[in-house]
Structure 1
Amino acid sequence: MNASKRLGFAVVGALLAGGLLLAACAVPDDRRAGDVVFRHPGVVVDRGGLRQAKRMVAAGEEPWLSAYRALLTSRYASLDYTPHPADVVPCPFNSGPQSCLDERQDAIAAYTHALLWSVNGRTAHARKAVQIMDAWSAVMKQHREDNAALQAAWSGSSWARAAEIMRTDYPNWDTSRVTRFEEMLRKAYLPAVRAQVPAYNGNWELAMTAAAVSIAVFLEDQAVFRESLERFRARVPAYFYLRADGPRPVAPRYAAIETADQVKAYWFDQGTYVDGIAQETCRNLMHVGYALAATAHIAETAWHQGIDLYGEQSARLRTALEFHAKYQLGAEAPPWLCGGKLERTMGPDLEVALHHYETRTGAKLPYTRALVEKTRPAGTDELFVAWETVSHGQVPPV
């Protein structure tokens, strides 16, 4: 994925009035001021969600059953899956050696088997998840070259999700191997995903923050956890626009843009700003999908740890979800929006966010729901999104 060296604006968080207010629901306590008491498993998926998936699959309920079958028959679910660990993963822009693809796929495979272990209880899947993670932790030392931070983010997110499930629920993962895996995440992933990339396209920092907060929970690292929450609070308003922000977006922190023309250039030649539009909308909807998925992963992980980031950015995120789902579904783009041309390439990225806003809060997101149902059962984007109909699926609200 290319990094844009063009600079952009930081946005002041705001909420829309009226119909975008959250419906009443039980929410976690916000512990901004102090340490959290970490809850495990708590990286994107939690015990309640895993139990629901297990129960619904066993009962033959949809959409979980179809999603589980797709999961079980994927190449990642093979008990013959062979990992390909490397000590150094060098990933330049736009290309890279086979090790870049291997790392992402192996991390997804580890999560695939961990999720299967939770749903069907087959010990062979638990052993395979641990085998893959042990193979990488035995050798992995560093990411290098231009895409190092993004590569570490994509893979680190999946590693942390898999490791959370296995360490919490599988008693036969050797303690020394768990410790080795922790050290791998701390030394080979955290430095990369904590790097500053203010002038890059916003999906970078959101993906990096998703990995950082996930690893922080697994490691019970209070400092990195708090840092990740603050990066979320700064970057989400800088990526998804609301009119309440002012006449145009302002830059991400530390990115110095001072003119309307510079803002327009950073937003891919988009000079008209409306509620819900994103910094990369006029690049393509694929990258906006990555950003929406990463944003939801951060908020979901924080939710499981007792912090309601969803509520803090409710209007912004719900508006962005509906705006982009509408156009991904085929709505004609007006001339003022990206010159009337959109690349409708969004992947299976919205299930987690829909689950929160519809199931937990009772919000109505008709375009988002329509798109999620169209793309079910959600598979994997081959980067860091995987099997979210299994973990976060729900039936349409009555």
Structure 2
Amino acid sequence: MRPASGRRSRLFPAALTLLIAFAVPAVPASAAPAAFTHPGVMVSRSQLDFIRDRVNANAQPWRNAYNQMAGSAYGSLSRTPKPRAVVECGPYSNPNLGCTEERQDAIAAYTLALMWYITRNSQYATKSIQIMDAWSNTIRDHTNSNAPLQTAWSAASWAKAAEIIRYTYSSWPNTTRFATMLRGVYLPKIVNGSKSTNGNWELTMMEASLGIAVFLEDRAVYDKAVSIFRTRVPAYIYLPADGALPRTPPGSGIDTRQEIVDYWHGQSTFAEGLSQETCRDFTHTGYGLASIASFAETTRIQGQDLYPEIGGRLRTALGFHTRYELEGPPAWLCGGSVKRGLGPVTEVGFNHFSTRLGITMPNTKAWTESRRPHGANNLFVAWPTLTHANNPN
């Protein structure tokens, strides 16, 4: 198979012509901003202000989304963090030695940071800090086969929480220790990606790496994450312009038709918006789509918007999977055996295309709006209806 860079491009199908209007020159090799924007990991200050105004006005769907978050265990002021020096996670978290506790404490830190910003009740900021301090004072390593994924899931939430607290709350004495934890414990496990695993791994690893890069203001890490992301997204979501076969992750060694079909979980018919993990199940596909959208959100906040580059893939993937969530799958897809269950992963991308760009996405709209408020998946996605539903900022 010819490498992706050597393929001829086909004409874009009609469904993609609308996005051409939003095309911009490619992001340069040095993508990091000259000055970082804070808070700036998936949610910006203007987005947070919009959320706060909507919740305080009792407007929907934000009020219901806030109530869902505040009523969850993640928003409890009585939460006791459960840090471990070594978190060990095997396949499907077996063994599970601190895996669930770490992910949930990280989501709780982010949840409480959001609650602080919305309510201005300092107890929430203090509790978020307590959780982050407990882990930064304890964690030293992640081990076993799922260590990179566990690290990425947790770091994605840690970075979002830390950005809000550091740049909107008055005092966090152990900020430097937390930054040292992110750089020394989390970043080494994720920054180089994972070429031959299922795509949701590397996409979440890059989401987390980018968040850490913003918090640390590390331009080299930021640039590396962008570089890997720009090749992984085209290898995760298929467009007809790719040719007869999907692209593959550079360096993966997946380069024959049979290897590609096997990597795409037995799927040999490739349609616009299909994901590398569609025929594994929609749930893991949703993890990948969530990380793609979150990554693009962060680059947009940082003034290096990657949505125009990857938008056609994300938009069609959202439409593809929500269509078959709503209608049921066709016989040609995954041999007629599809495991659905996309999860709370559509709000961020849908908001960008629908609210900001005015693109009609009937399947994604129907799926997303009928399931609001979207909550937490207990891994790394949390409260996207609250943060991104109809948010124009």
Tell me, yes or no, whether TM beats 0.5.
Answer: yes
Q: Please list every run of 5 or more consecutive structure 1 residues that lacks an aligned counterpart in the other structure.
A: 1-7
Where does residue 333 of structure 2 map in the other structure?
337
1:250 Cα offset (Å) = 2.9
1:74 to 72, 75, 80: 72
Matched, 1:370 2:366: yes
Give, in whole Å, the separation in 1 of the partners of 2:324 and 2:23.
32
**Amino-acid identity (%):** 47
Give, in whole Å, the separation in 2 of the partners of 1:264 and 1:45.
37
1:395 Cα offset (Å) = 8.2
1:146 Cα offset (Å) = 0.5
* Matches for 1:159-308 after TM superposition, within 5 Å: 159-174=158-173, 177-308=174-305
- Which amino acid in structure 1 is aligned with residue 99 of structure 2? C
Where does residue 325 of structure 1 map in the other structure?
322
- For the structure 1 residues 17 and 339, does the alpha-carbon distance in structure 2 shift closer, same or farther, using more than 3 Å as the test? closer
> Which stretch of the first structure deviates more once superposed, 346-355 or 19-28?
19-28
SS in 2 for 1:22: helix
- For the structure 1 residues 27 and 373, does the alpha-carbon distance in structure 2 shift closer, same or farther, using more than 3 Å as the test? farther
Matched, 1:385 2:384: no
Give, in whole Å, the separation in 2 of the partners of 1:291 and 1:39.
25
SS in 2 for 1:171: coil
Give, in whole Å, the separation in 2 of the partners of 1:202 and 1:138.
32
Q: 2:159, 2:212 within 8 Å by CA — same for their partners in 1? A: yes
1:28 Cα offset (Å) = 11
Give, in whole Å, the separation in 2 of the partners of 1:268 and 1:60.
45
Where does residue 4 of structure 1 map in the other structure?
none
> Which stretch of the first structure deviates more once superposed, 249-258 or 264-273?
249-258
Where does residue 89 of structure 1 map in the other structure?
87
- Which amino acid in structure 2 is aligned with residue 362 of structure 1? G
Where does residue 115 of structure 2 map in the other structure?
116
1:347 Cα offset (Å) = 0.7
- Which amino acid in structure 2 is aligned with residue 201 of structure 1? N
- For the structure 1 residues 11 and 333, does the alpha-carbon distance in structure 2 shift closer, same or farther, using more than 3 Å as the test? farther
Q: 2:355, 2:391 within 8 Å by CA — same for their partners in 1? A: no
Aligned length: 386
Moved over 4 A (4+): 8-15, 23-32
1:317 Cα offset (Å) = 1.3
Give, in whole Å, the separation in 2 of the partners of 1:297 and 1:251.
22
Where does residue 50 of structure 2 map in the other structure?
52
Give, in whole Å, the separation in 1 of the partners of 2:181 and 2:157.
14
Matched, 1:355 2:355: no
Alignment RMSD, CA only?
2.2
Give, in whole Å, the separation in 2 of the partners of 1:332 and 1:352.
24
Q: Please list every run of 5 or more consecutive structure 2 residues that lacks an aligned counterpart in the other structure.
A: none
Give, in whole Å, the separation in 2 of the partners of 1:133 and 1:147.
22
TM score, norm. by length of structure 1: 0.92
2:12 to 16, 24, 43: 16
Where does residue 148 of structure 2 map in the other structure?
149
Give, in whole Å, the separation in 1 of the partners of 2:272 and 2:2.
16
Q: 2:283, 2:340 within 8 Å by CA — same for their partners in 1? A: yes
SS in 2 for 1:320: helix
Q: 1:22, 1:361 within 8 Å by CA — same for their partners in 2? A: no
- Which amino acid in structure 2 is aligned with residue 182 of structure 1? A
- Which amino acid in structure 2 is aligned with residue 334 of structure 1? P
1:235-263 CA distance string (max 9 Å, x none): 00000001110101132110112322111
Give, in whole Å, the separation in 1 of the partners of 2:63 and 2:23.
28
1:327-381 CA distance string (max 9 Å, x none): 122x232221101121111110011111111111111111111111122111100
TM score, norm. by length of structure 2: 0.94
Give, in whole Å, the separation in 1 of the partners of 2:203 and 2:361.
23
- Which amino acid in structure 1 is aligned with residue 381 of structure 2? V
Give, in whole Å, the separation in 2 of the partners of 1:164 and 1:27.
28
Where does residue 138 of structure 1 map in the other structure?
137
SS in 2 for 1:313: helix
Where does residue 3 of structure 1 map in the other structure?
none
Q: 1:72, 1:116 within 8 Å by CA — same for their partners in 2? A: yes
Q: 1:23, 1:361 within 8 Å by CA — same for their partners in 2? A: no
- For the structure 1 residues 11 and 155, does the alpha-carbon distance in structure 2 shift closer, same or farther, using more than 3 Å as the test? farther
1:89-111 CA distance string (max 9 Å, x none): 11111212340100000000000
Give, in whole Å, the separation in 1 of the partners of 2:247 and 2:301.
31
Give, in whole Å, the separation in 2 of the partners of 1:9 and 1:158.
38
